[in-house]
Structure 1
């Protein structure tokens, strides 16, 4: 099957890229290995965005929410409506397994089919691969790197690792649903990026002793009914039923490398691309969204990376190989 443009990833930025392709009349297809906006779907059920709804809009399509800060469910509804109302061409639950440049086109193999494309846009985000603790016992079934809701942790001893927005939200929710929460924080305080209306809440809960916290600390070992924490005062062992390690996530670098994309040689591991066109070092292969930040996962968000779709469209409009085969 041949397409002008294949977009990998049906998150908000992948949808924005699809809208641009449709407006220009290009023959495109979006391939997504999971559900529509799969990363947002996997966010905690009660999550509230840091951004206001208008900053999450794509292609100037209004996003109306009940409150200034929209919820996960409102965001899912918005992007679902944008997709269905514009009849975007998206294949869900189809995983791209390889991309190979062959002369002037790309050969893509998925778990269902093979495609040939003149241009490829990768907008896969970074939520699929967690940053692991790399400690003994991390493989135990009681350890998880994603958090959905608090109810399963009622009356349980729960260690939440991290001090970011996700860690703080999980800790507060589980505490308020009757869980016994201990936060394990590598730094000396709750993260400064935590939502300004939530940060004082968790600090107060820690100070009053409702939520326990070990700062400047890391998990040393995990066992079925306890964990050992490395603290400034030495190793401490505490009872434990679950470990929720919300230590961040990383892009699928291997997938990009296999496609031929190069990276910076520092710890940031930023992929090579032209910030005016979003084209990588591989001719015809573009990046869009948070994946552009490499390990700097706090650099790009929906609100500041949605412009990538228009930058790519402008570059494609000037590309003779794209214009020659209008849909």
Structure 2
């Protein structure tokens, strides 16, 4: 072989070595990530199994639905979700994990590069009752609008936008400026109600905003320092609020200031009992009287219902429940010290409240089932840790039977379904048994309510 041939052979061998080495490294990298993806996939699959066992897999409100024929497993939906373990990747495609913890941010919907995600309410087997609402947020009753969580979109950003648009649509309808009556009565001073009030003010309308509890609605009842907003929102008369991981206190401060700056007052502790359509197309809004007082009436051309799906707190119906020591929400826990407290419930509100109270009080957490269901994974970890460290007493399979001035009576179900009745010294009782959907309230006003099975709220 001549010198030229040797050179060519040497070059060929070099190329083989280079390409071979490159292919080897590439193959090793592919194998590494394939194994990593396989391990991750197995871990997510295990989380799905646990979620199903703990009742967290079934969604309870707005949630993502993944079209597996489109999904490419990019993981964009997983990384965009502000919550933990709502979505994951199994065998190269996305799946829901703890669907019942989804609070409807909708970030996954926007993040998906192949438009494989839609946002839905209810499932094929589990329906959710929703009022009939048109695209302009008007119900089947002309002049009554619904904005916010009650209509299915509970995120603060979404509720704010809906409250704003509902009032803008009222202005477009021309049902305003009637002499001697309000243009709008706004029922609820949560995100949607506040946005509706600010928009009404901006349009020079005559309105009242009525709230059964306090400014903020459901947000007001959240524990202190709880993160309630993770996206910016556009607030009328203020502009874009560019806050992330916003706490309850920060948000309430913003709302209070913008309402005060625009001379808008909220009539608090005024529960609207019913809305009565009148002959001329107007509405009589009746606020229930307190302590035997007569109910108050408002007449308006339009009504914006901006209350949550929780409605009124669900009561247990046990003797003594009307006692002053019974509450259905926890306010200013830092001021509650040295008490013997019973917390009833097994959801996030009950668990979070019990943990806020346990440092300065003797706390018993009573739950009617044998394990927690549908609570956030972090809450599950923290409450189990608190129980293990005996920071509070946990009584599963128990029901509150009676409330007395200085004690409560619990019924505990033991081994072989034997029931044990126990009287326990007690100063305060907090009941977190969920809320009663305001279905009757809506139907009495003539609003159609339908059960939706997997209703698509947003899709591409």
- What range describes the TM-score normalised by the shorter chain of this pair? 0.5 to 0.7
Counterpart among 381, 393, 396 of residue 212 in structure 1: 393
Higher-RCO chain (CA-CA 8 Å, sequence separation at least 6): 1
- Map residues 1-327 of structure 1 onto 2, 5 A cutoff: 1-21=180-200, 25=203, 27-33=205-211, 35-44=214-223, 46-52=224-230, 54=231, 58=235, 61-64=239-242, 68-85=244-261, 87=262, 92-93=267-268, 96=272, 98-110=274-286, 114-117=298-301, 119-125=302-308, 129-151=312-334, 153-177=336-360, 179-194=361-376, 196-223=377-404, 224-233=406-415, 234-241=419-426, 242-264=428-450
The Cα shift of 1:2 comes to 2.8
Cα distance between partner residues in 2 of 1:209 and 1:64: 41
Could you say if the C-alpha distance between residues 146 and 240 of structure 1 is closer, same or farther in structure 2, counting changes exceeding 3 Å?
farther
Cα distance between partner residues in 1 of 2:263 and 2:437: 25
Cα distance between partner residues in 2 of 1:140 and 1:16: 36
Q: What SS does structure 1 have at the residue aligned with 2:241?
A: coil
CA offset digits 1:49-108 (Å, max 9, x no partner):
3542x266656944355xx532221111122234345x3755524664543223452232
Provide the aligned C-alpha RMSD in A: 3.6
1:126·1:252 contact (CA, 8 Å) conserved in 2?
yes
2:193·2:306 contact (CA, 8 Å) conserved in 1?
yes
CA offset digits 1:258-306 (Å, max 9, x no partner):
3222444x7x9x9xxx998xxxxxxxxxxxxxxxxxxxxxxxxxxx9xx
The Cα shift of 1:205 comes to 1.0
Q: What SS does structure 2 have at the residue aligned with 1:176?
A: coil
Give the structure with the higher percent helix: 2
Could you say if the C-alpha distance between residues 221 and 38 of structure 1 is closer, same or farther in structure 2, counting changes exceeding 3 Å?
same
Could you say if the C-alpha distance between residues 56 and 249 of structure 1 is closer, same or farther in structure 2, counting changes exceeding 3 Å?
farther
Bigger mean CA offset, 247-256 vs 208-217: 247-256
TM-score (norm 1): 0.65
The Cα shift of 1:251 comes to 4.1
2:338·2:362 contact (CA, 8 Å) conserved in 1?
yes
Unmatched tracts of structure 2, length 5 or more: 1-179, 287-294
The Cα shift of 1:238 comes to 4.9
Greater gyration radius: 2
TM-score (norm 2): 0.49
Could you say if the C-alpha distance between residues 51 and 206 of structure 1 is closer, same or farther in structure 2, counting changes exceeding 3 Å?
farther
Cα distance between partner residues in 1 of 2:359 and 2:285: 47
CA offset digits 1:192-235 (Å, max 9, x no partner):
333x4443111111123322212233223334324223324322
Cα distance between partner residues in 2 of 1:136 and 1:106: 42
Cα distance between partner residues in 1 of 2:227 and 2:396: 26
Q: What SS does structure 2 have at the residue aligned with 1:108?
A: strand
Unmatched tracts of structure 1, length 5 or more: 277-303, 305-327
Cα distance between partner residues in 1 of 2:347 and 2:234: 24
